[in-house]
Chains A and B, each alone.
Chain A
């Protein structure tokens, strides 16, 4: 199975900060990477697909980049609604895998 490693596992930031989360794959996944946001007690929500494509309705302050084995999710100016846990997911192989998650907390 392809292992997905996210860093950091927890991130403390303030409203207005630029935030970057990294996701590394154990082997190349081309651009077959998605990012999801999950709030406590809620289902995950798709933010980014194919590494850098913004899902419809997602604010433009979210962006994704990368290919191969290294990817990033950037929030350009953190808003109160963005405090949540973020997961990456590779969909390059049938054995789909998620990263361990990054919790974005209020500083």
Chain B
């Protein structure tokens, strides 16, 4: 059974930093691209970032480019999102998502971790 478990969310002040982690199990982690998608409270889904299966390629939405860094450790089956220069508008539930038959199709989602940016 595929499981994706996010951690690392919490309350952070504007301008601060936070690192999210996603522990994966139930599939060959090193064979799949992985993504982060977020959802602000009461709002829709927003794509954040992607990383290829070997970590050699990354992609960022314009809204987070230059502030967020996606990475992965295939030896630990773990995906990361390093977030810096956080803003109030980054407040959201962050989902770790596994790619499916296409690198950009999301077939399994974690339960999400809430990041709140507030003073």
**Is B73 positioned at the interface, with any CB of A under 8 Å from its CB?**
no
- Give complex CA distance A96, B106 in Å: 11
The answer to whether A98 and B47 touch across the interface, beta carbons within 8 angstroms, is yes
Q: How many A-B residue pairs have CB under 8 A?
A: 49
Across the two chains, which residue of chain B brings its CB closest to A87? B45
Chain A: interface secondary structure?
loop
Chain A, 67-107, CB within 8 A of any chain B CB: 87, 89, 91, 94-101
Q: Which of B104, B110, B111 contacts A96 (CB 8 A)?
A: B104
Interface residues of B in 72-119 (CB under 8 A from A): 95, 100-102, 104-107, 109-112
Q: Total interface residues on A, using CB and 8 Å?
A: 22
The answer, yes or no, to whether A44 is at the interface (CB within 8 Å) is: yes
Q: Considering the chains assembled together, what is the distance between the CA atoms of A25 and B88 in angstroms?
A: 29
Chain A: minimal CB distance from B33 (Å): 11
Asked if residues B106 and A98 are in contact (CB atoms below 8 Å), the reply is: no
Query: Contacts A91-B102, A96-B104; is A45 near B47 (CB within 8 Å)?
Result: no
Interface residues of A (CB under 8 A from B): 32, 34, 36, 38, 42-46, 49, 55, 87, 89, 91, 94-101
